Chain A
């Protein structure tokens, strides 16, 4: 996706001002690597909200039929939104906060452990 398109999507999905909740309190910006692409999110974002904010809806593909999956319950109960995070597969992205420098990957099937030093 070219930059302007991406920026447009980001603009469209962040709710900056809200009639009841007011203006968005912008927290510190963090940098994530999503499938090799440098992306921005805010501290306090869940990985799933950072995905949406960056225009991404597909979080993983199923093992047998390679069907796309994404956010479904958003409260950590259905495991539809799992991704590989810092080399650890099956992380529920809807209840896992982002951290600066996080490496997030679309998960294929059941995923694979690629534990690196220090994790």
Chain B
């Protein structure tokens, strides 16, 4: 069995930032990612970020990704295993890893940071399993990372930020967005993004939902229908749209398999994306020495994922003795200031409350123990 100080599972913005931070204080870090390159979802984010300058506002995801990579490569304390999937973990902080073409490797870690990200949620309707129905993020990945336009006439389901941002990116990629469906009577995205697609001539259908996807082997069309205040279809309002791609921008779930396997406790908080590993304000779970950061601790954005990564990284390094209690506190407060700042927008209040509820649950658990 190989012995390591800090093992980070997932090399997205959260995992990379955690690694850079912990290594900065001298800890030895191993970052493992199953992809052939790190960056997680960052390299597909070609829109400009919000927030203050400190949060890299105005920068696009892929250039932030490049900066993080540069820092990783410069650091002598960071080791990177790519093409390696972590398939097992236990309370003793032992990990089972499958590097490509190399059998299985066992690692014993002092500290583990799980930064595995999220998966897109689906909604279910007849034909949802046809090729040509996919996550909006999947289409984004194909376009912005692999330079493939997965459809030419697109129906987007969901008018939140992801729905409108990716609709706009579909237009940039050369597709026609035939419509954006929204089941609620109000639109969900930030005004700037919504305005951009409106200016591009994309119609919003609301309150509408999808009735079925049409096609034999692939999507050839979609039937949509208006819904009433009870979310029931209104007969006679059906419209058939000719599309070859149906994208779902209907939310994310934290990717928590490894956390479940590690035996840590969970708390159900819908505002954070559902079942989330119970954690404190240092991002430590109920299994001592196992931390979480980024989307796995509650669905947010790349900017918050990076700050959370730093938070987990600082505390993991501190608990290994690399920085003093006082220094850890100073650093933690600085990060919290930035996090609070990032969570101060009108749309972020739910997530902020969700986080506060989570810390309360963690502390209750400690008292009961």
Contact = CB atoms under 8 A, between A and B. Distances in A.
Nearest to A51: B148
A12 to B, nearest CB: 6
B197 to A, nearest CB: 15
A59 B131 contact: yes
Contacts of B287: none
Contacts of A69: 129, 131
A15 B174 contact: yes
Most buried by A among B34, B143, B148: B148
A24 interface: yes
Contacts of B139: 74
A72 B134 contact: yes
A114 to B, nearest CB: 18
Interface residues of A, number: 34
A18 B147 contact: yes
B331 to A, nearest CB: 32
A71 B119 contact: no
B138 A74 contact: yes
Interface residues of B, number: 35
B218 A68 contact: yes
Contact of A49 (B146, B152, B173, B255): B146
B144 interface: yes
A87 interface: no
A71 B142 contact: yes
A53 B135 CA distance: 19
Contacts of B242: none
A12 B150 contact: no
A7 to B, nearest CB: 16
Contacts of B132: 57, 70
Interface string B122-140: 0000000111111101110
21 contacts: A12-B149, A13-B150, A14-B147, A15-B143, A19-B172, A20-B172, A45-B146, A53-B148, A58-B131, A58-B217, A59-B131, A67-B129, A70-B131, A70-B132, A72-B138, A73-B135, A74-B135, A76-B34, A76-B35, A77-B255, A97-B36
Q: Which 4 pairs between the two chains have the least Cβ-Cβ distance? A: A70-B131, A74-B138, A49-B146, A74-B141
Interface of A: 12-16, 18-21, 24, 45-46, 48-49, 52-53, 57-59, 67-78, 94-95, 97
Given A57-B132, A57-B218, 14 more contacts: A15-B148, A18-B172, A20-B60, A21-B147, A57-B131, A57-B217, A68-B218, A70-B218, A71-B138, A72-B133, A73-B120, A75-B141, A78-B119, A95-B35
